[in-house]
Amino acid sequence: MTRLHFASALLPSGWANDVQVVIAAGAIAAVTAGVAPAAGDERHAIALPGLASLHSHAFQRGMAGLAELRGDSTDTFWTWRETMYRFALAMTPDDVASVATLLYVEMLEQGFTRVGEFHYLHHDRDGSPYADPAEMAARIAEAVEASGIALTLLPSFYAHGSFGGAAPHEGQRRFICSVDQFAALMTASRKVIAHLPGANIGIAPHSLRAVTPDELAAIVPLAEGGPVHIHAAEQVKEVEDCLAWSGQRPVQWLLEHAPLDRRWCLIHATHMTNEEVTAFARTGAVAGLCPITEASLGDGIFSAREFVDAGGIFGVGTDSNVLIGAADELRQLEYGQRLKHRQRNVLSGGAGRSTGRALFDGALGGGARALAQTAGGLVQGARADIVTLDTAHPSLAGRAHDAVIDGWIFAAGGAAIDCVWAGGRKVVEGGRHGLRQAARERFNASMRRLVA
Ligand SMILES: [Zn+2]
């Protein structure tokens, strides 16, 4: 049993002072506010619940910063994707384990305690399935176990190169499954995560480009009640191609043909009409926003103000993993809105309210919903995922409560994170994960071979 005492902690009911949290068997056994620290309590200043990165493609961490050289034509998402395919085609299962391990170590150091791994690198380099269809998922699980992060595994179904069931192209060969292969992959993936504490599983139909309506209907039941994540309306070209195929825009098509509800998460949903924004918000499905990746890829800016005003639920993900940071994603989300609307504090939710707190609460609730976590936050019964902030950081000094969150998100960033407990295990201390050095060395060895 571990007993922690915080001078202040953000609880589901709001900020509380003098909070004791008891951890047993990886979960929060008790939360008591207004008590003096007892002998044997480990004392810290400020505690927040850990956030989820609800959308990650772990292997892409390996190509972070490698697609920043301008090509011959206009550089777009589609030229970035060619670099991504080349990189994906070269990686061995060991490379995936080393890249994912460093990524999850970095996520924990930055305040993410759960990852939604939208996993689509399934097959061997020539495109043939591994003897164990979940070989690559097992490497993700290995990284999860080593780092201590919680996993929501979202095996991705990917069958086509474009709308209307177009044949996939050669660069996609490691991603492609039939419905029967995918069913076998789901069975094998359930076994892979069975021993991981706090792990759960859903499915990820990749996008309407990669999945036909019949296939979508066939695979959704394979989630067995778990979350369903799909990329939607990330790029203008995707919207145009979807219109040419169906006469409808991607989100419009999903609203009409898919059973969108709280179990669903639409990743990006960047390009929507006002009607789509309102209808999507009403479904209770989560908008899985990846503001840094969306900026990196030149996708566009999500209609966050309108979506939140309509009651929509959002969470954040690190997606391409070009840069890892909970504060960075939330800051970019707000700054995109400021640039778009030429205003400040767009997502604060009203006069006198803290923008950082609104962003944090949104991402906490939306991340939990998208990854099917019932008990979120610092509450009895929840997984003990706790982040403390360093009040000696110059951007946090002298501040309390919401002003601390604003200081973290808008000024200090990840440098303000002190300790992180994941499933009750203290994995980060003084801002450093215990596995940082070993994970870097293993990652760097993979990179020297892959990048050369
Ligand atoms: Zn993605």
What share of residues in the chain are helix, strand, coil (percent, to 5)?
Answer: 40, 25, 35
Give the homologous superfamily in CATH for domain 51-370.
Answer: Metal-dependent hydrolases (3.20.20.140)
The pLDDT assigned to 14 comes to 97
As annotated, the residues of the chain forming the CATH 2.30.40.10 domain(s) are 2-49+379-437
CA of 205 to the centre of ligand 1 (A): 11
Residue 81 pLDDT: 83
Distance 203 CA to ligand 1 centre (A): 13
CA 118 to chain centre: 9
Enter the pTM of the model.
Answer: 0.97
- C-alpha 376 to ligand 1 mean position (Å): 24
Centre of ligand 1 from the C-alpha of residue 184, in Å: 23
Ranges of the chain whose pLDDT falls below 50? none
- What's the topology of domain 2-49+379-437? Urease, subunit C; domain 1 (2.30.40)
- Could you read off the pLDDT of 200-233 as tens digits, one per residue? 999 999 999 999 999 999 999 999 999 999 999 9
Cα–Cα distance measured from residue 85 to residue 14, given in angstroms and rounded to the nearest whole number: 45
Catalytic residues, which ones? 268, 319
> Do residues 111 and 387 make contact, with C-beta atoms less than 8 angstroms apart?
yes
Cα 320 to ligand 1 centroid, rounded to whole Å = 7
pLDDT in tens, 383-408: 999 999 999 999 999 999 999 999 99
Numbered ranges of CATH 3.20.20.140 in the chain: 51-370
Question: Which pLDDT score is estimated for 72?
Answer: 72
Q: Which residues contact 77 (CB under 8 A, 6 or more apart)?
A: 234, 235, 297, 298, 299
Residues 6+ apart with CB under 8 A from 214: none
Residue type, 8: S
Write down the pLDDT at residue 375: 67
Q: Check residue 85 and give its pLDDT.
A: 83
Q: How far is the CA of 262 from the centre of ligand 1 (A)?
A: 20
